[in-house]
Amino acid sequence: MARLTLVSIAAISTLAVAPHAVAQNADAEKLFGDGDALMKQGKYSEACDAFEASNRIEARAGTLIRLGECREANHQLASAWSAYKDALVRVKDPKKKDIATKKVADIEPRLSYLTVTVAPDARTDGLAITRNGTALDPALWNRALPVNGGEYTVVARAPGKADWKNTVTVPDEKGKIAVEVPKLGDPGAAGPKPPVTTTTTTPRPPPVDDDRDEPAPGPSRWTGKRKIAVALGGVAVLNVAIAAVLGSSANGKKDDAYKLCPDPLVACSDADTANNLLDEADRFARNANIVFGIAGAAAVAGGVLWVIGKPTADHRVSVTPTRHGVVVMGRF
């Protein structure tokens, strides 16, 4: 009978606790689903809040991994790194463990760090330091701590001393920023000021006077006549090449004719063929002479145009008196 009573009590206790546990899990699942939906909409800040709330209700490795992914998408690398590290503490699934391990290894080299430096002579009784309003434990002074990118205001206070404050900006990735807390001064005294960043600017040169006289550009040596002269020079070179080919062909046909009939005084069975070759050789020779003549004429004409086609500025005439009269000299 006593055993039956104990079993009944245990059953009643289990039934009393079960509804609360189920409701708690349902809330966590709802917040997790909301976080997923907000992530898809690109609302990372709200999504991260949902994942964090879900993890507070029921801490799970999968929720922490999703929170890390959300923080990473929101450019909060230190928070993402911390979430992945917490997931490794709770994870049991090998796949999730592999994901969290790889994420930690990927983010660590990209972290930014903020160091609040407090020299021994700056420590005073009751010194308290806050970072963005949150107390910074003395054990964390002079340590490079991973932080998310953004602005950080460091405030130092001590009884009977003037407060000191400095604000710095930490980059999202690979930043190493240090804030040095000085020795606090007495109230009302001008306390030490945070370092001021100065920018050196190079003075601009005096404005250029656009109205000043500039030398007029000289005339171009490539006048119209000189351009024609160059073209005629090209015609001359081309025709010389053609004449050389024609002359070579004429000599070749003449040689072929003499091979067929080497002795003109002896009857030759290939006399007709040899005579045809000699006629072709004469025709090629005449054409070669004509083309060569054209080349010569083009060269002469080009030379004349080049000389008379000099720029106008080069056409100068000078008159020099001498004992016997005057000498007129010109450049054309």
d(C-alpha 34, C-alpha 268), whole Å: 113
3 state SS of 210: coil
Q: At what angle do helices 94-107 and 77-90 cross, to 10 degrees?
A: 150
* 8 A C-beta contact, residue 177 and residue 116: no
Three-class SS state of 268 = coil
| Three-state secondary-structure class, residue 154 | strand
Domain ranges, ordered by start, for the chain:
21-109, 112-181, 224-326
Report pLDDT for 194. 56
Cβ proximity of 75 and 172 under 8 Å: yes
Question: At residue 108, does pLDDT exceed 80?
Answer: yes
pTM over 0.95? The answer is no
* pLDDT computed for residue 276 by the predictor: 86
At 85, the pLDDT band (50, 70, 90 cuts) reads very high
pLDDT tens-digit series, residues 69-84: 999 999 999 999 999 9
**Residue percentage of the chain with pLDDT more than 70:** 74
> Would you tell me which CATH number, out of the four given (3.40.50, 1.10.260, 3.10.105, 2.60.40), belongs to the domain 112-181?
2.60.40
Which amino acid is residue 48, in one-letter code?
A: C
CB 112 within 8 A of CB 78: yes
Per-residue pLDDT at 229 exceeds 50: yes
Quick one: pLDDT at residue 4? 40
- Give residue-wise pLDDT tens across range 151-173: 999 999 999 999 999 999 999 99
Domains 21-109 and 112-181 share a fold: no
Q: Which residue has the higher pLDDT, 228 or 22?
A: 228
Q: Give the model confidence (pLDDT) of 309-325 as tens digits.
A: 777 644 444 445 554 45
Pair 207, 191: CB distance under 8 Å: no
The hierarchical CATH code for the domain 21-109 is: 1.25.40.10
- pLDDT-based confidence at 127, cuts 50/70/90? very high
Name the residue with higher pLDDT: 9 or 144. Answer: 144
Summarize pLDDT for 247-284 with one digit per residue, the tens. 888 888 888 877 777 766 667 777 788 788 888 888 88
How far is C-alpha 330 from the chain's CA centre? Answer: 60
- pLDDT tens digit sequence for 188-205: 765 555 543 333 333 444
User: Which range (34-43, 57-66, 194-203, 223-232) has the least confidence?
Assistant: 194-203
C-alpha Rg value of the chain to the nearest Å: 50
More confident of the two residues 284 and 95: 95
Q: Are 156 and 141 in contact (CB under 8 A)?
A: no
